[in-house]
Amino acid sequence: MAAPHSVSPPSGEDDALLRAAKVVAREEAMARRARADAAGAGQALAAHVLRDAPPPSGAVVAGFWPMGHEIDIRPLMRALEARGHRLCLPRTPKRGLPLDFRAFAFGDELVKGPVGTRQPAEDAPPCVPDWLIVPLLAFDRAGRRLGYGGGYYDRTLAGLPGAGTLGVAYACQEMDVVPSGPHDAPLGAVATEAGVMWFRKGSSG
């Protein structure tokens, strides 16, 4: 499914080449995502996760509020809340810092965040998730994730080594190989409207 450019630079290639490869891959990924059929995709994704890769009982689940052309994970979050999971959403901090998670329940008011995001208010209670639903622009079968370029989730996941991770996307966002470097955190699994793919044994829980 990948375009020819979606290949990781060889080991030892300088950062400039890696950044350039990611810029090209992001453009391709955003174009693919914009063409995806959103009708029913969020509900299908939720059904696959609840059946095949649910979080452990009692897990505190970090989601995100979808924006733009991102797949809608709100059906999944509502279902997890109904199952008794505590939810939290990220607040975007200053560049260079990990995400700041705050408690969230449906019905809570959200405020505007950077670049069109919606996030809990600053006075919402802090929260430490142990299972994260992770947005992405592209993924591959090795669990490599292409994000938006801020590095927020890479820094966040590095600080939560025991947490489960589930990337979420449309199936069309899969690439043969996602360009990545040593600081890019791999995912445990990815869920799409077509199903769930695992990359590390036991990673969904």
Q: Tell me the two tokens of residue 41.
A: 């995709």
Residue 13 is predicted with a pLDDT of 46
pLDDT band at 160 (very low <50, low <70, confident <90, very high): very high
- Mean pLDDT for 149-172 is 95
Residue 7 lies in a domain: no
State the residue range of the domain holding 35. 15-198
CA distances from 169 to 44, 102, 120, 159, 196 (A): 12, 23, 23, 23, 10
Q: Phi, psi at residue 183, to the nearest 5°?
A: -100, 0
pLDDT in tens, 111-139: 999 988 999 999 999 999 999 999 999 99
Does residue 111 belong to any structural domain of this protein? yes
Across 154-173, average pLDDT: 96
Name the DSSP class of 103. Answer: E
Question: Distance between CA atoms of 124 and 8, rounded to whole angstroms?
Answer: 40
Residues of the chain with pLDDT > 70, as a percent, come to 90
CA distance 72 to 168: 9
pLDDT at residue number 5: 38
- pLDDT at 55 (0 to 100): 98
10 within some domain: no
SS3 24: helix
- For 19, other C-beta atoms within 10 Å of its C-beta total 13
Nearest CA to 29 out of 139, 114, 115, 135 is that of 139
Residue 33 lies in a domain: yes
Residue 27 lies in a domain: yes
Segment 102-112 mean pLDDT: 97
Residue 200 has a pLDDT of 67
pLDDT at 152 over 70: yes
pTM for this predicted structure: 0.88
Tell me the per-residue pLDDT of 41-72, one tens digit each, with 9 for 90 and over.
Answer: 999 999 999 999 999 999 999 999 999 999 99
Tell me what pLDDT residue 52 has.
97
2 within a domain of the structure (yes/no)? no
Over range 20-38, report the average pLDDT.
96
19: in domain: yes
Report yes or no on 77 lying in a domain. yes
Helix (H, G, I), strand (E, B) or coil at 172: helix
Confidence of residue 6 (pLDDT cuts 50, 70, 90): very low
3-class secondary structure, 7: coil
Q: What is the reported pLDDT for 7? A: 43
- CATH code: domain of residue 169: 3.40.50.10420
**CA distances in angstroms from 134 to 11, 87, 190, listed in the order given:** 26, 14, 9
- Which string of b and e fits 185-202 if b means at least 16 CB within 10 Å? bbbbbbbbbebbbbbeee
Number of domains in the chain: 1
- CB count, 10 Å around CB of 155? 16
